[in-house]
Amino acid sequence: MKFVLPALAATAAFIAPTFAEARQVTFETALKTYGGNGAYVVLYVTDAAGKYKGTLWMAGGKAKYYRHLSDWQRASGGRPTEIDGITGASVGSGKTLKISLDIADAMINAGYQVHVDTAVEDGMDNPSEVVAPLDTSASGKAVPGKGYVKSFSVTF
């Protein structure tokens, strides 16, 4: 399991300013086996009204490719500050990205959703390929993607 400590600072918006109760949540994105380069994968959160609230993780280090993560780009404005300290290598074909973060209890079971955008160089771009609720009733249940993602799950 990969614990993302730098992301804790970046997800401060997800933890109330008074450091209210939070719990560790694991996000697992398994990719299909496909031909080609590693996938750029971004996980970000929207509220019940669909408004962007922040980025959880960006897999892929070259900023010139971020525009291919179009729903994230549109929602976040593509600002580098949205991903400072929460980036890692792209995810290879057939591989799994697994991250664990502390998420404010106030966001759980409150209509928030996690979006996953993917893109591969010389391949398809998949905006909001997966949209899953931050809801305990969905804990551990795999959601299929519509592009490179074989399955995505959120575990509380």
107-112 contacts, C-beta under 8 A, 24 or more apart = 107/14, 107/45, 107/53, 107/134, 108/23, 108/25, 108/134, 108/135, 108/136, 108/156, 109/134, 109/135, 109/136, 109/137, 110/48, 110/134, 111/47, 111/48, 112/45, 112/46, 112/47, 112/48, 112/53
Looking at residue 32, which CATH number applies to its domain? Answer: 2.60.40
Counted domains in the chain: 1
pLDDT at 5 over 50: no
Range 33-61 average pLDDT? 97
Q: By the 8 A CB rule, do 134 and 113 touch? A: yes
Q: Give the structural domain span for 38.
A: 2-155
pLDDT at 42 over 70: yes
- In which residue are the tokens 């390929």 written? 129
pTM, two decimal places: 0.88
pLDDT for the residue 12: 43
Q: Which alpha helices (DSSP H) does the chain contain, by range?
A: 6-10, 70-76
pLDDT for the residue 19: 53
CA angle 24, 145, 25 (to 5 degrees): 0
Confidence of residue 14 (pLDDT cuts 50, 70, 90): low
